[in-house]
Amino acid sequence: MKKVYFHTLGCRVNQYDTETLRAAFHQRGFESAWKAAEADVCVVNTCSVTAESDRKCRSQVRRIRRLNPEAFLVATGCYATGAPQDLEAMPELDAVIPSKAKEGQAIVAEVLDRLGLSCPDQAVFSSPGDAGGLTAFGERTRAFVKIEDGCNQMCTYCRIPFYRGRARSRATADILEEVCRLGDGGYHEIVLFGIQLGAFGSDTGESLPALLSEIEQIDSIERLRLSSIEPDDVTDELVDALGSLPKIAPHLHLPLQSGDDGVLQRMRRRYRYEDYRRLVERLRGANPDFAVSSDIMVGFPGETEEAFEHSVRAVGEIEFCRLHLFRFSARPGTKAAAFPDRIAQAEIDRRRERLGNIAGEVVDTVRRRQIGRTLIVLLEEPGADRGTAVGFSENYLRVQAAFPKEMSSKNVKESLGQLVPVCIETMNSEYLIGRVQ
């Protein structure tokens, strides 16, 4: 039996796409290799959201080739779709397969064709719904379900719509079937995601709040979480659903990108900072403990010192529970790549460091408020200390939970993947720390 190894870079959509590829390879008679050196076929699922992402993809291709000189090495994903010529120039690769219009079936079929192996038609699928959905998600304790692909935003700094195409929704029936299968398989938390998650239903007449209400009725699912969603896609109906459906985690990742209206306009973001602030206010009006994480880009062309200070102010006002900071990266083919008033790299680095320090203080303030509270934590992996496990709370904070001393390490291991109440007693730089109740 031949073995296939996957290395995935980038977002949760890529991680999900890798799992559909894994399932398609398994249906062709392959088994998974968990080390590149042990595989007959190695697949690198690439990301191209920034120039640094491109560099990491090329680095991983070279690393895998060093580890396994004999494997058939394939690159697919966004970088392979957006700039295939870059990867085709790499002697380490045997194949570059753009994936914009191809999913599990077509990519696997092309790999097998190049290997000279037979490719029967009856045991393949081109999308998760065609095969009844995924029943497992790697070795994770939570499951991710892609409900949408593609993006209609066309932000001036981003190439993803060119790689992924326009927003396309999966059918609600397919999604529900997959969620049921995952719930029956022991996953208690489901994360719904897409490239533009809030565009779900825009092409089919379905709606995200209605989908959430249907998943809420599935007994095996204890917690439901939404992944990153654009602020302007959060409707009043969705806010109501987030506040009224008890299984939905009180957390959203809302990319802000900048706290300055002028920068947001040049980015072609479809909201202003005050719109964003009011949205957070509405979410916390229904639940004062509602947590918000975000992305902010530093050094966008034309970002004056005053504009940067508006982002600094926003971090303090919103009080994010987690913040990802990105340096502006000029992507060829985007409008922003040709914008004037570029910021010097040294200045971008200075701003990022300052904003990172401020964000760290804000996040610690948010975390400190949890001390004395009991949070519901999905235990995901053993902790560094004996008798502990680590996972995420409902408000997306990392928690290390200590079990009663009489529990064995076997009992702790068996608790992974379970949702348990944890009383928070203290914190360090990495975790909230508490005891299982």
135-174 residue pLDDT tens: 666 556 888 999 999 999 999 999 888 888 899 999 999 9
pLDDT given for residue 126 in this prediction: 35
| Phi and psi angles of residue 12, each rounded to the nearest 5 degrees, phi first | -65, -30
Is the pLDDT score of 70 beyond 70?
Answer: yes
Is the pLDDT score of 123 beyond 90?
Answer: no
Q: What is the DSSP letter of 81?
A: H
Whether 84 and 48 have beta carbons less than 8 Å apart is answered as no
pTM, entire model: 0.86
b/e burial code for range 161-190 (CB count within 10 A of at least 16 → b): bbbbbebbbbebebbbebbbbbbeeebbbb
Q: Which residues have a Cβ under 8 Å from the Cβ of 325 and sit 6 or more positions away?
A: 295, 296, 297, 298, 352, 355, 356, 359
List the one residue out of 169, 176, 171, 183 whose CA is nearest residue 223.
183
* Mean of all residue pLDDT scores within the chain: 90
Strand partners, 82: none
Q: In what order do the strands lie in the sheet with 291-298?
A: 251-253, 291-298, 322-327
Domains, the chain, in order of start with CATH, read 3-115 (3.40.50.12160), 131-249 (3.30.750.210), 253-369 (3.30.750.200), 374-436 (2.40.50.140)
Length of the chain: 437
Is the pLDDT score of 196 beyond 90?
Answer: yes
Q: Kind of pairing, strands 374-382 and 419-427? A: antiparallel
Pick 346 or 21 by higher pLDDT: 346
- Of the chain, the percentage scoring pLDDT greater than 90 comes to 74
Separation between Cα atoms, residue 76 and residue 102, nearest integer Å: 10
Confidence of residue 301 (pLDDT cuts 50, 70, 90): very high
